[in-house]
Amino acid sequence: MNQSNYQNAWCLYDWAISAWSITIITFVFSSYFAQHLATSPEQGIIQWGKMLSVSGILIATLSPILGSIADKNKSQYHWLKFTTLITAVCAFLLWFANPDHSNTTYLLIMVGIGSISFEFSQVFYNSMLADVTTKDNVLKISSRGWSLGYLGGLSCLAIALFLFLNDSSSLIKLKQSTCQHIRIVGPLVGLWILAFSFPLIHKPLSLSKIIFNYSEFNKSTSNVISSIRKANPKKPIFKFLIARTLYSDGLTTITSFTGIFATTLFHLPLSSLLTLGISANICSAIGAFSCSKFSTEWLKPLLAISLIGLIISSTCLIFSTSQVKFWVLALTISTFAGSLQSLCRSIMTVMTPTSKRSEMFGFYKFAGKSTSFIGPLAVSSITYITHSQRLGLSVVVVFFIAGLYLLKDIPIGKRKSNYLSNKLATSQAA
C-alpha cells in the first residue's frame, strides 16, 4: 500500500469506528436501555452511568499498560484489528437484547465490552499516525481523520433513521413490539465498522502478537509505574498531558451539561435537542477539517486560538438569555472542540518518542478518563451551593483558562523537539 492509500485508509477508519460512539452510545442504545430494559427511566440512567464509570476506570487503568505491551512487541496493528473486531462483534450481539428486564445485564455487558474495546482501539489507532504521515503533514492527516469520524458517525445514524427508526416513513418495516427496528441498529453499526475499517485492517491477525502471559503484563505494568514515578511536570510532554487533562475536563463537562442547560433554562424539546446534537457534530467536523490547511509549526497558535475561542464562547453561552444566541454559541463551542481534539492528537504524535508512542497514547487516554468526574462534580457542587446553574457551569471556563496557562512554556511544533523526525528517519532507513 503506497503512502497516499495508507493515509486514506487510516482516515477512513475514523469514519468507521465513530459509528459506535455516536450511534450506539450517544443516540440509540442509551435511550433504548432506559425506556425498554430498565425497570424505570431513572434506574436506567443510574445503571447506564455505573456501566460507563466501570468501563472508564478499566480504560484509564489498562490503556498505558496495553500500550506498553504493544510498543515492546511492535504489535500496534494486531491490537488495533483485535479491538476493532471485538467492538464490531459487540455491536452485532446487541440484536439479541430483547426489550425485557431479564436482558438488562446482557445489554450492559455488551455495551461495556464494546466501549472498552472501542477506547483501546483509539490508543493503537492514534499511535499509528506517525506511520502514515510526514512531519509537515501530521496536522493535515489528523484533522482529516477527526472530521471524517464526526461525519461517519452521523452518516451511520442518518441511514439508521432512514431505514429503521423513523416510525412513520421507515424504508424497512420491522416488528416494533419487540423493538426490532431499534435492535437492528446494532448489526448495522457492526457491519459499518467492518466495511469501512477493512482498508486499514485487511491484513491477517496474528494472535501470537496480542497474547501475553502474566510476566509480560507484570513487566509492562512496572514500566508504566516507572514512567509515572519518573514523570517530571516540567518536561514538555507531561506538562502538555496535565494541560490537556484540564481543558479536556472542561470540554467534557460543558458537553455533558449543555443538554440539561438547554432543557431547563431554554425549554428546548427533545426533537430540538436531537437537532442540536447532530448540528454540533457537523460543526465539530468543520472545526477539525479547518486545521488540515496548516503545517506543524501552527500547532501551538491554533491550540491557543481554540482554547481562547472556547473561553469566550462558553462564557457567553453560560450567561446568554436568548435561545437564538444559545444555539449560535453552542455550535461555536462545537466548532472549537473539533479543532481542539484534532490538534491534541497531532501534538502527542509530534512530542512522543518512537519507542513509547503506544504507551504515551495510553497515558493520553488515561489523562482524558481518570479525572473526568472532577468537572461534573464541581458543577453540581457549585450549583448546589449557589442555587444557580449558570454559576455552576462557569467552572468550565476555569478549566480552559488553566489549560491555556500551562501551554505557554511548552515548545510545541518546534523542530528541535520534534520526535517525529526520529521516527521518520528510522522508517526511511528501514
Are residues 271 and 310 located together in one domain of the fold? yes
Are residues 344 and 418 located together in one domain of the fold? yes
| Mean pLDDT value across residues 163-192 | 89
Are residues 222 and 334 located together in one domain of the fold? no
> 26 lies in which domain range?
1-230
> CB atoms < 10 A from the CB of 273, how many?
15
Dihedral sign for Cα atoms in the order 188, 271, 340, 55: negative
Which segment, 159-168, 198-207, 363-372, 404-413, is predicted with the most confidence on average? 198-207
| Chain centroid offset of residue 348 CA | 15
Cell of 175: 416488528
| Mean pLDDT value across residues 384-388 | 86
Are residues 241 and 371 located together in one domain of the fold? yes
Distance CA 372, CA 261 (A): 19
Cell of 353: 518518542
Single residue among 230, 251, 280 that ends a domain in this structure: 230
pTM, full prediction: 0.84
Are residues 255 and 375 located together in one domain of the fold? yes
The pLDDT value recorded for residue 19 is: 94
Single residue among 183, 198, 230 that ends a domain in this structure: 230
Are residues 370 and 225 located together in one domain of the fold? no
User: Phi then psi for 203, rounded to 5 degrees?
Assistant: -70, 155
pLDDT surpasses 60 at 119: yes
CATH number where 225 lies = 1.20.1250.20
pLDDT band at 414 (very low <50, low <70, confident <90, very high): low
The pLDDT value recorded for residue 277 is: 84
The pLDDT value recorded for residue 258 is: 76
Single residue among 230, 253, 272 that ends a domain in this structure: 230
Are residues 355 and 219 located together in one domain of the fold? no
pLDDT band at 210 (very low <50, low <70, confident <90, very high): confident
Distance CA 280, CA 333 (A): 8
Least confident range of 93-97, 150-154, 267-271, 278-282: 267-271
| Percentage of the chain lying above the pLDDT 70 cut | 92
Angle between helices 104-127 and 3-19 (to 10 degrees): 160
DSSP string covering 259-304, please?
HHHHHHHH---HHHHHHHHHHHHHHHHHHHHHGGGS-GGGHHHHHH
The pLDDT value recorded for residue 231 is: 65
Cα Rg of the chain (Å, integer):
21
Are residues 238 and 184 located together in one domain of the fold? no
| Mean pLDDT value across residues 202-211 | 85
The tens digit of pLDDT for each residue in 261-305 reads: 787 778 877 567 778 888 998 999 999 999 988 888 889 999 999
Task: Considering only residues 292 and 373, tell me which one the structure prediction assigns the higher pLDDT.
Answer: 292
Q: How many domains does the chain divide into?
A: 2
Are residues 250 and 162 located together in one domain of the fold? no
Are residues 239 and 223 located together in one domain of the fold? no
Are residues 220 and 325 located together in one domain of the fold? no
Cell of 173: 418495516
List, in order, residues 6 or more apart from 81 with CB less than 8 Å away: 201, 203, 205
Q: Which residue has the cell 455491536?
A: 91
pLDDT band at 418 (very low <50, low <70, confident <90, very high): very low
The tens digit of pLDDT for each residue in 226-259 reads: 776 766 666 788 888 888 888 888 888 887 777 7
Are residues 137 and 249 located together in one domain of the fold? no
CA distances from 164 to 66, 311, 353, 365 (A): 38, 40, 47, 34
